Structures are given as C-alpha cells and as structure tokens.
Structure 1
Amino acid sequence: MGSALHQHINKFVNLNKDEQKILASFLQFISVKKKGFLLEQGQTCRAKYFVVKGCLRLYFIDLKGTEQTTQFAIENWWITDLTSFLFQEQSEFYIQAAEPTEVIAIENHHYDEMFHKLPKLERYFRLILQKNHQASQRRIKFLYSQTAEERYRNFNRLFPEFVQRVPQYMLASYLGFTPEFLSKIRAKK
C-alpha cells in the first residue's frame, strides 16, 4: 500500500530507500467501509489522508440540513479538512467513504518531525497544496460562471470516472444542484 504513495511522491520529489523507510514510520493504514467516516463535524481532523483505493468526499450540512459536497478524492489524491488539521480545532466538515476505501494517514502530531527528517516532503506537500488550491478556485469559478448543465458536461468530460463511481446525490451536491435536476440533465443525452 505504501508503494502507491511512494510513486506519487516521486512524481514531485525523489525519496531514496532510506528516506522511504523514514517516511514509512510516520504512515498509518486505515480501511473504511462504504458510508464510514474518517471525520465528523465537531471532531478535530488529526490526519491528512492519501487514497490508495476507493473514494472519499468532504462535505458539510448547510442551514437547510442538506449535505453540500465540497471535495472528492479517489486513488492517488489527498483529502483533509485543512483548517481543522492545521490549527487542531473542531471541524465543520465530514470525511466519508463513498465506497469501500483504503487510505494512508499522516497524523498532525508527526508533521513537524517528518518535515525535519525529510525536508523534501515540504516541497511535495507545497506542490500538492498548490494543485488543490488551483482546483478549488476553478470549481468556484465554474459554480458562478457556468450553467448547471455546463458544469455537469464539463465535469463529465474531465472526470468520467467520478460520474460512474459516485452516487448521483453526491455528484449533484458537488456540482451545486439537486439530484432531480441531475436526472433531467442525464435524460437529455
């Protein structure tokens, strides 16, 4: 399981065998059943999660009591509630498995020691954070500048694997509309 993470890291920075062994000492392997939680609202997010197999989503409950999905993570993607993780404060989010999922977790209390022993990883996580921020900005722009149908068509074109794997209500929430509206868009094909 650790080899997937090592391969991903090596796309950005090269870790030798000794560095990989040091990194392994900071890793925790977790399996989550479908609909199981790694984080619930009110808890403190204690780890960043690298998806080895499966699919996770980050969501919150809005004022109307509706789930609002803000992020997905499939194989080779990271997910966390970054604010809760960095500041060790209560989360306003949930991290839930959309399907049976295996992750590698790096806990907050290991971060400084890991960066001290493996300074290359600071560059790796900075590059990952930049990619995540870019994706988040693009998503916000699409929510405000595209019609619901355009958002669905673009998402389907860019990430066809999500459309097949993720339950319709989660996908609709992520794209900013109701599952019923998503059904209408799909019916138009």
Structure 2
Amino acid sequence: MGSALFKHINKFINWSTDEQEILAPFLQSLSVKKKGFLLEQGHTCRANYFVVKGCLRLYFIDIKGAEQTTQFAIENWWITDLTSFLFQEHSEFYIQAAEPTEVIAIENHHYDEMFRKLPKLERYFRLILQKNHQASQRRIKFLYSQTAEVRYRHFNQLFPEFVQRVPQYMLASYLGFTPEFLSKIRAKK
C-alpha cells in the first residue's frame, strides 16, 4: 500500500524496512473520483494526504463567490488544510480531486503515536513543511511581482505536463486571473 510513500520518505531520511512496517498501520488508502471531496468548508480536516496517483487542489470561495485555488498536489506531494488539521478546527477550504486520485491518508489523531514510535518521521515532515512553505512564499511573490503572462509562462516552463492535466479554470484561479485571460495568453503562442 505505502510503497510510493516509503520511497518518498527515503529521499529525505534513511530508514529501515522494520520502520516501514511500524508506519504501515497508520496509513489509510483512499480513492477519490474526479470532482470528489476529501474536505469541505465548515468541516474539520482530519488527515494529511499523500498523492499516490492523480491530482488534488486546495481552494476557498472568495467574497465574490469565485473559487480561489491556493495549492495543487500531484504524485508524491502532500496536501492538507494545515490550520484545520493541526488545531482540529473548522476549515475555510475545500480539498477536491481534479482527476481520479489515489491517496494515502494519515489521520491527525495518529501523529503523536507515530512520532513517538518513529521519531525520524518528525524530521521528514519538517522538511516537507519547509518545502511547502518555500513554494507558498514564492507563489505569493510571483502573484504580486510578475505580470499574469509571466506567471503563466514561468509555471508552464516549470510544470508543462501539469498545465495539460489541470482544468483551465483551476489553473487560472491558482495563477490569479480569469479563465478568459488564460485563453488569451495561450492564444498568443
């Protein structure tokens, strides 16, 4: 079940097959249909999700009623509403599948026991959190310091296969403009 996750963890920390066996009972496999939800606004985010196959997005509804995507997660990426997950409070976000998706979930109530039994995993999750925070800071900087066209070209350069996988309205929302504007940018090719 967790072989993709085990390989990912091994990129960050050295750990044994015995440790993998200790982790296995904390893991839950889930399948989500395209447009299905792992989290809806007003509910508490009970798990951190590792994408084995597929694509998830984290979004909220703004004051105008528009969806604002703040994060995507594809294979080997983690996604959660961190505030809701850590503090077990109601979420202001949705986690939705952009395509049929397979995930490994680790529920919040397992973390203390998991870290007690596998202290190396605290380092792994710290490193993942640092990478996520860095990506979030870069995204915010790009939103405020680059033109919409530059943001799209840069993102397309970094993740060309991803741009083809995600519906245009989700990508536009993530990059901070309308789907119509994205169509104009793409037409300029």
Q: Provide the TM-score with structure 2 as the length reference.
A: 0.99
Partner of 1:72: 72
**In 2, Cα distance between equivalents of 1:17 and 1:184:** 51
- The whole-number CA distance in structure 2 between the counterparts of 1:159 and 1:15 is 30
Separation in 1, partners of 2:68, 2:53:
23
**SS at 2:60's partner residue?**
strand
| Distance in 1 separating the partners of 2:19 and 2:103 | 20
2:186 counterpart residue number: 186
> For residue 17 of structure 2, what is the aligned residue in structure 1?
17
1:138 aligns with 2:122: no
Code of the residue aligned with 1:4 in structure 2: it is A
Q: Is 1:60 matched with 2:87?
A: no
For 1:92, the equivalent position in structure 2 comes to: 92
Corresponding position of 1:159: 159
**Cα displacement (A) at 1:162:** 1.5
What TM-score results when the alignment is normalised by the length of structure 1? Answer: 0.99
Report whether the alignment pairs 1:83 with 2:83: yes
Question: What's the CA shift for 1:76?
Answer: 0.1
After superposition, the C-alpha distances for 1:107-153 in whole angstroms (9 at most, x for unaligned) are: 00000000000000000000000000000000000000000000000
* Residue 14 of structure 1: how far off its partner (Å): 1.6
SS, match of residue 42 in structure 1: coil
The 2-side partners of 1:160 and 1:119 are apart by 37
1:126 alignment counterpart = 126
Task: Read off the aligned partner of 2:15 and give its amino acid letter.
Answer: L
Report the Cα offset of residue 15 of structure 1: 1.8
Distance in 2 of aligned mates of 1:14 and 1:161: 30
Q: Which amino acid aligns with 1:181?
A: F
Q: Which amino acid aligns with 1:184?
A: K
**Deviation of residue 38 (structure 1)?**
0.1
Unaligned runs of 5+ in 1: none
The offset of 1:178, in angstroms, is 0.2
Name stretches of at least 5 consecutive residues in structure 2 with no aligned partner: none
SS in 1 for 2:135: helix
Shift of 1:72: 0.1
SS in 2 for 1:25: helix
Partner of 2:50: 50
- In structure 1, C-alpha distance between the alignment counterparts of 2:106 and 2:167, rounded to whole Å: 28
Moved beyond 4 Å, runs of 4+: none
Shift of 1:17: 1.1
**Are 1:109 and 2:109 matched, yes or no?**
yes
